[in-house]
């Protein structure tokens, strides 16, 4: 007895076949419907699962093509899937933590009351590729984002909500540790030290509001190292400070997947008999 269940993977580009057979061997073939090209994907002892991610081609299954699969076994049983499209769209809710921190730090630096001799600092996401930035400056970079849960069973942190026959919303819930490096560059040690103290102060406030109210401050810690970069020819260079800033909390995001489905095919076919001089018979058809 042969049983086959097919699934178009929600992220697109692949088709999964769940196969049950008590025969000695099975054969899996794939036909690309636009060209009619048939490829034997597997021939051997029965396997419970086969995932076709474009096997025998340079890439994944194309979202501009449709495919049809046939599974046969040595007992003579055969199963053919409908014409399948591996096309789909994946829409991800981006994590807003880094853009939010950049804006919060920018607002805090703009609001600082500066002592005499201390210049206003620029806040950058990364060092500019061309030209020298104006100092003092503060840069922020997400160095590490890692799962904080231990021993969570595979897939247990993903909740699926169907929204229609072709789409789902996947909600990902987990505990995550964020580790940022916040760097300070200044031409004077006094100015660097002022911004070091200022950043630790404003970051501590941010941990309370809004990070804690967002559920992302279950625990936190920070570490600071300071130094000086000397230039050539007795150039004093500049003074630096790196703040390793870590906090752990809830990470919730959602992904919406939509699969391409054939809703209707309309067409016209001209039918004529070979060798006949009679006009062709026109037949209109519709497949839904």
Q: What is the pLDDT of residues 47-74, one digit of tens each?
A: 999 999 999 889 999 888 899 999 999 9
Give me the mean pLDDT over the 130-147 stretch: 85
Asked if the structure places residue 275 within a domain, the reply is no
- The tokens describing 59, both together, are 């890439």
Same domain, 24 and 64: yes
Dihedral over Cα of 59, 60, 62, 68: its sign: positive
Give me the mean pLDDT over the 249-264 stretch: 71
Separation between Cα atoms, residue 17 and residue 8, nearest integer Å: 9
The pTM of this model reads: 0.69
Same domain, 36 and 139: no
Same domain, 109 and 82: no
Task: Report the pLDDT value the prediction gives residue 89, as an integer from 0 to 100.
Answer: 79
Range of the domain at 163: 97-259
Same domain, 101 and 216: yes
Among 49-63, 133-147, 255-269, the minimum mean pLDDT is found in 255-269
Report how many domains make up the chain: 2
- The tokens describing 179, both together, are 């580790």
End-to-end Cα distance, the chain: 30
- The tokens describing 22, both together, are 């008590």
Of 87, 116, 143, which residue is a domain's last? 87
Helix (H, G, I), strand (E, B) or coil at 190: helix
Please report, for the domain that includes residue 171, its CATH number.
3.30.70.1700
- The tokens describing 209, both together, are 């509001």
Residue where the block lists tokens 């160095």: 143
Same domain, 250 and 164: yes
Residues 6+ away with beta carbon under 8 Å from 225: 241, 242
Give me the mean pLDDT over the 232-251 stretch: 82
Asked if the structure places residue 270 within a domain, the reply is no
CA atoms within a 13 Å half-sphere pointing along the CA-CB vector of 232: 0
**pLDDT at residue 79 above 90?**
yes
What mean pLDDT, rounded, does the chain reach?
A: 83
Asked if the structure places residue 133 within a domain, the reply is yes
**pLDDT at residue 234 above 60?**
no
Specify the higher pLDDT residue, 173 or 80.
Answer: 80
Please report, for the domain that includes residue 14, its CATH number.
2.60.40.10
Specify the higher pLDDT residue, 165 or 286.
Answer: 165
Residues 6+ away with beta carbon under 8 Å from 167: 256, 257, 258, 259
Specify the higher pLDDT residue, 24 or 168.
Answer: 24
Contact 88, 8 (CB under 8 A): yes
Distance between alpha carbon 133 and the CA centroid of its chain, in Å?
32
Asked if the structure places residue 156 within a domain, the reply is yes
Measured in residues, the chain has a length of 288
Same domain, 10 and 118: no
Same domain, 63 and 163: no
Task: Report the pLDDT value the prediction gives residue 52, as an integer from 0 to 100.
Answer: 95
Of all residues in the chain, the percent with pLDDT exceeding 70 is 81
Same domain, 125 and 69: no
| Eight-class DSSP state of 248 | E
Instruction: Give the pLDDT confidence of 151-176 residue by residue, as tens digits.
Output: 565 556 677 777 766 678 888 778 88
Asked if the structure places residue 19 within a domain, the reply is yes
């Amino acid at each position: 007895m042969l049983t086959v269940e097919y699934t178009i993977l929600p992220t697109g580009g692949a088709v999964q076949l769940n196969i049950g057979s008590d025969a000695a061997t099975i054969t899996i073939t794939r036909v690309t419907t636009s060209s009619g090209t048939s490829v034997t994907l597997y021939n051997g002892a029965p396997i419970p699962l086969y995932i076709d991610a474009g096997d025998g081609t340079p890439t994944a299954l194309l979202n501009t093509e449709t495919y049809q699969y046939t599974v046969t076994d040595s007992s003579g049983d055969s199963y053919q899937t409908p014409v399948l499209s591996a096309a789909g769209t994946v829409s991800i809710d981006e994590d807003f933590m880094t853009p939010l921190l950049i804006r919060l730090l920018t607002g805090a630096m703009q609001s600082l009351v500066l002592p005499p001799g201390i210049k206003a600092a620029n806040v950058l996401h990364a060092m500019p590729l061309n030209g020298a930035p104006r100092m003092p400056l503060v840069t922020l970079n997400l160095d590490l984002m890692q799962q904080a849960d231990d021993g969570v069973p595979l897939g247990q942190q993903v909740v699926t909500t169907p929204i229609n026959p072709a789409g789902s919303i996947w909600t990902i819930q987990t505990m995550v540790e964020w580790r940022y490096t916040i760097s300070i560059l200044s031409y004077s040690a006094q100015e660097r030290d002022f911004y070091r103290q200022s950043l630790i102060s404003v970051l501590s406030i941010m941990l309370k509001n809004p990070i804690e109210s967002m559920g992302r401050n279950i625990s936190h810690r920070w570490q600071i190292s300071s130094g000086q970069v000397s230039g050539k020819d007795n150039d004093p260079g500049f003074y630096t400070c790196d703040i390793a800033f870590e906090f752990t909390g809830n990470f919730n995001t959602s992904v919406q997947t939509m699969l391409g489905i054939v809703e209707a095919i309309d067409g016209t076919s001209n039918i004529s008999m070979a060798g006949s001089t009679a006009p062709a018979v026109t037949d209109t058809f519709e497949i839904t």
